[in-house]
Amino acid sequence: MKIFKDEPTIEFMGKRFYAFAFSGLIILAGIILLITKDFNLGIDFTGGTMIEVSFKDDVSVNDLRKLLSQVGHGKSMIQRIGEENKFFIKTEQVFEPGKEEAESTTAADKHEGFTGEIKDALMSEEERQLNATDKLDLNDASEKQMMDFLISRGIDGDAAADAAKKLIGITSENTSGLITSFSEIEKIGLPAPVMSVLKENTFLGSFTFLSTESVGPQVGHDLRGKVTRAAIYSLLGMLIYIGFRFRLIYGLAAVITLLHDVLITLSFILLFNIEVSLPVVAAILTIVGYSLNDTIVIFDRVRDNVKLMRREGGSLILNRSINQTLSRTIVTSGTTLCTVIALFFFGGEVIHSFSATLMIGVIFGTYSSIFQSCAWLKIWEKKLLGRKKT
């Protein structure tokens, strides 16, 4: 199989102004979007709390909002995850609100703050009553708590540890993270005395927190600085490396191409309202490396071809170089795209925005290597063809 039977002879340089216009339009659209709305920054950057909660039964976003508004958190962001009964609840409120020395509360009380309030709000009346008794909610107990509970009900240590492990095992098997019914517990083959303790003294709550995260505002602030520095240093580092391995104009053209990639990716992040979290920033930096990789392969050819065919002029050299490497560029972005698509569709919610950003970046990183990098080199055509130091 071949993409091109022979070496292709596509006239890229002649179309470079279309490419400039195309990219310019996307970036302009991004700037206009930025005026009308802000980036959807994750709690990594803004500080705040994020809860991932899973329900046993069908619940709608509106139901949740109603419950949350009863405790004054109606304005939290609530987002359904996929098709399941799982939701993200996000707010900018952090764990230790307000004054450090609230009267008559312990450190732990203050800490419980937001996540504790949400947990209370989500409970049904029945669950609240059950919780007030000394029955244990198996969907709201850790392995250690289950074990301690069983021991306190007269089960011996080893049997209790084994049972607790198996019970947690059920929650890990189910994607919901919940034990849905006692029949599931019956299937795992627990000894009769354990079973009877469980039946009489425990119940199955209607939801569980899959994960919670709270970030203090200071951390978010620190992180922004760190991210900016990392981005600037890595661009500088690459400029220096290419300047050193090639020549400065190659470095400049490459860095402009990279900036272009970053701007376009940011525009799409705005457009699709992708949440900018730490992994998304990591994705953008990865794209920078990836796109540069493509660009360097082409520039490497340009450097060779400049030596071979200096007289034939910049456009011809640049066109030839792009065409010679075109099938490689397409194949590599093809395989990379394969894996990014696998990541996007099968990798799960945790890294969804990460893989979405990568997908945009790989597509436009490939586009820019072909249509942008050499177009920028063309601007410094005279320097490029100059005899000094190749």
Please calculate the CA angle 367-379-323 and round it to the nearest 5 degrees.
40
Q: How far is the CB of 169 from other proteins (least distance, A)?
A: 9
Query: What does the radius of gyration of the chain's CA atoms come to, in whole angstroms?
Result: 29
Token pair listed for 100: 């450090």
Question: Measured from the CB atom, is 22 or 95 closer to other proteins?
Answer: 95
Closest CA to 93 of 114, 116, 78: 114
Q: How far is the CB of 379 from other proteins (least distance, A)?
A: 22
Q: How far is the CB of 316 from other proteins (least distance, A)?
A: 18
Question: Measured from the CB atom, is 29 or 252 closer to other proteins?
Answer: 252
Question: Measured from the CB atom, is 33 or 130 closer to other proteins?
Answer: 130
Closest CA to 274 of 18, 30, 39: 39
CA distance 279 to 155: 45
Closest CA to 238 of 306, 302, 285, 303: 285
Q: How far is the CB of 87 from other proteins (least distance, A)?
A: 13
Token pair listed for 1: 């199989």
**Look-up: residue for tokens 């470079």?**
16
Q: Which residues touch 311 (CB under 8 Å, ≥6 apart)? A: none
- CA-CA-CA-CA dihedral for 186, 191, 194, 199, to nearest 10: 30
Question: Measured from the CB atom, is 213 or 381 closer to other proteins?
Answer: 213
Question: Measured from the CB atom, is 59 or 261 closer to other proteins?
Answer: 261
Q: How far is the CB of 104 from other proteins (least distance, A)?
A: 4
CA atoms within 13 A on the CB side of 240: 6
Question: Measured from the CB atom, is 60 or 339 closer to other proteins?
Answer: 339
Question: Measured from the CB atom, is 148 or 381 closer to other proteins?
Answer: 148
Q: How far is the CB of 211 from other proteins (least distance, A)?
A: 5
Q: How far is the CB of 218 from other proteins (least distance, A)?
A: 6
How would DSSP label each residue in 305-346? HHHH-GGG-HHHHHHHHHHHHHHHHHHHHHHHHHHHHHHHHH
SS3 165: helix
